[in-house]
Amino acid sequence: MARSSSLPAVLFLLVVLGILAVGGYLFFQDMDPPELTLSPTVEKISSGQPLLVTATDEKSGIKSISVYVRKGGHGKTIFQQEFDGSATTQTVTFNLKEAGFNEGAFDLEVQAADGSFAGFGKGNSITKSYALRLDNTPPRFSIKTQPPYVRRGGSCCIVYSITKDVKETGVMVGEHYFPAYRQPNGDYICFFAYPHFMTSQEFQPQLKAVDLAENTARARVPVYKVNRNFRRDTVDIGDRFLNTKMPEFESLVPGDMSPAERFAIVTRDLRAANAAALLEIGRQSAPSMLWNASFLRQPGATRANFADHRIYTYKKEKLNVESTHLGLDIASTVHSPVGVAASGKVVFAGPLGIYGNLVVVDHGLGLQTLYSHLSDIQVQPGQDLARGDILGLTGETGIAFGDHLHFGITISGMEVEPIEWLDANWIRDNITARLTAAGAEAPDLPAPRPPAASARSGARRR
Ligand SMILES: [Zn+2]
């Protein structure tokens, strides 16, 4: 009697539990589709350019990603991948090589599905559509200037145009990149160097451009190379220099070592780190010329030239380090005021390793001047300077043998022969007249003067 009356109650309870389970499942199940991103976000794309799809679904994981292209009524799946759904994020890469269609507009549809049971096991899915344009045509160059003459260690410039919009262009010299600067008329100006450390066989400048679809073009830049040899010098490091200078470098090159050993490490390793810093500073350049007159030379005697190769001795013993002196040393009276060679903007003012207290002034188009070993800096980064403005006082901070100005010139961070830029005739023949002839804006420098008596007379190391 008792059993027969409880049976309907048990059935009722099971039905209620069943309804709750289904309701709960429906209530708690994942109804949200995955999130989907395509990168890079571009409008133009070349066939080989890798595209990246990232799909994320926190609740149910990613089950599949597919990519479909549609162009002119035809469509094709060019990418399809299934996953077991255990990972909440999946990233896949693909390109358009499989699509096999011509250049022009097309639609890219990217679909991702999660691992939930929604849609009877298909999962929640999302489809995003992107309107893109296939572009496989690399840019082409047209150089508007005659091939430049360039001396080893020196500078030159070219003007060129490109057939299409680019996101990056300039001249490659070995591994070194000299960016070009786009002018208001659409042409590009590029200043580049024949690095002092390259032989004429090694110096093979190449134009490079990367367009918005990542098509890359390269072309040889014809140049007339003029070889030259640089001086070799032996510098004896005395105890007085080591004992007064090396304590300054103990924090930069720490460790238990003799002053002569520290000098070798400073000269070798710190110099390399400082050269890398100059490359970074060299990128901070205005896209137009900030100067409009010849460059001023600091008064005083030339004590060392550009690219003098130095071998060091200590107590007649050769030290295990050599260096190349990448500037002009000019000495006059102690703590002489230093004027900026041409108008520009201060991009660096502070201590930098072997350079001691350093000011770097940008003159635009990658050209910068360096003022090193200063005892006092009187300008701030960001400050605009007019030609001749005083930026500090000479001194002997950093690796300096006595009070002098170390004057350097860089092009996109690479040190070049300053003598060229201190010669108004050279600037006119090699820079401004060439730019003007190619239709670019350039200052009209005063009529040439007869060449000055050699600035090198009396040159000695310092
Ligand atoms: Zn120097």
Q: pLDDT tens, position by position, for the chain (462 residues)?
A: 445 567 788 887 887 777 777 666 655 567 888 999 999 888 899 988 899 999 999 988 999 999 999 988 888 999 999 998 889 999 999 998 878 888 999 999 999 999 887 777 788 899 999 999 999 999 999 999 999 999 999 999 999 999 999 999 999 999 999 999 999 999 999 999 999 999 999 999 999 999 999 999 999 999 999 999 898 888 888 888 888 888 888 888 888 888 888 888 888 888 889 999 999 999 999 999 999 999 999 999 998 889 888 888 888 888 888 888 899 999 999 999 999 999 999 999 999 999 999 999 999 999 999 999 999 999 999 999 999 999 999 999 998 889 999 999 999 999 999 999 999 999 999 999 999 999 888 888 766 555 555 444 444 444
Distance between Cα 328 and ligand 1 center (Å)? 6
Distance between Cα 149 and ligand 1 center (Å)? 27
Distance between Cα 395 and ligand 1 center (Å)? 12
Which alpha helices (H) appear in 173-247, and where do they start and end? 239-245
* Residue ranges of the chain assigned to CATH 2.70.70.10: 232-437
pLDDT at position 32 is: 87
Distance between Cα 163 and ligand 1 center (Å)? 44
Distance between Cα 309 and ligand 1 center (Å)? 12
Distance between Cα 326 and ligand 1 center (Å)? 7
The residue length of the chain stands at: 462
Report the CATH fold assignment for 232-437: Glucose Permease (Domain IIA) (2.70.70)
Residue 42's Cβ-count burial label (10 Å; 0-12, 13-18, 19+) is middle
The structure tokens 């040190």 sit at 415
* Exposure string for 114-150, b = 16+ CB within 10 A, e = fewer: bbbebeeeebbbbeeeeebebbeebbebebbbeebeb
Distance between Cα 460 and ligand 1 center (Å)? 11
- How far lies 29's CA from each of 22, 82, 113, 393, in Å? 10, 21, 15, 75
pLDDT at position 444 is: 80
3-state secondary structure of 177: strand
Name the DSSP letter for residue 432. I
Nearest alpha carbon to residue 203 among 160, 154, 139: 154
Distance between Cα 322 and ligand 1 center (Å)? 14
Contacts of 169 (CB under 8 A, 6+ apart): 139, 162, 179, 180, 188, 207, 208, 209, 210
Distance between Cα 254 and ligand 1 center (Å)? 24
- How far lies 137's CA from each of 80, 94, 216, 218, 379, in Å? 28, 20, 9, 13, 48
Distance between Cα 303 and ligand 1 center (Å)? 8
Contacts of 411 (CB under 8 A, 6+ apart): 155, 178, 191, 192, 193, 282, 366, 367, 368
CB atoms closer than 10 angstroms to residue 236? 12
Distance between Cα 373 and ligand 1 center (Å)? 8
* Cα distance between the two ends of the chain: 119
pLDDT at position 101 is: 82
Distance between Cα 333 and ligand 1 center (Å)? 16
Contacts of 38 (CB under 8 A, 6+ apart): 51, 52, 53, 108, 110, 128, 130
Q: Are strands 141-143 and 155-162 parallel, antiparallel or unpaired?
A: antiparallel
φ/ψ of 44, rounded to 5, equals: -115, 145
Distance between Cα 353 and ligand 1 center (Å)? 13
CA 211 – CA 313 distance, rounded (Å): 52
The structure tokens 């100006």 sit at 189
pLDDT at position 413 is: 96
Across-strand partners of 393?
337, 376
Distance between Cα 397 and ligand 1 center (Å)? 11
Report the CATH fold assignment for 35-134: Immunoglobulin-like (2.60.40)
Q: Which CATH class is domain 141-226?
A: mainly beta
CA 40 – CA 50 distance, rounded (Å): 9
Distance between Cα 360 and ligand 1 center (Å)? 15
The structure tokens 């208001």 sit at 184
Residue 383's Cβ-count burial label (10 Å; 0-12, 13-18, 19+) is middle
Distance between Cα 207 and ligand 1 center (Å)? 32
Distance between Cα 187 and ligand 1 center (Å)? 37
Distance between Cα 311 and ligand 1 center (Å)? 15
Contacts of 394 (CB under 8 A, 6+ apart): 331, 332, 334, 335, 336, 338, 373, 374, 375, 403, 404, 405
φ/ψ of 143, rounded to 5, equals: -85, 125
CB atoms closer than 10 angstroms to residue 105? 11
Distance between Cα 256 and ligand 1 center (Å)? 28
pLDDT at position 119 is: 72
Contact of 362 with 308, CB cutoff 8 Å: no
* Residue ranges of the chain assigned to CATH 2.60.40.730: 35-134
CA 140 – CA 136 distance, rounded (Å): 12
- How far lies 308's CA from each of 194, 232, 300, in Å? 16, 6, 19
Distance between Cα 447 and ligand 1 center (Å)? 31
CB atoms closer than 10 angstroms to residue 220? 9
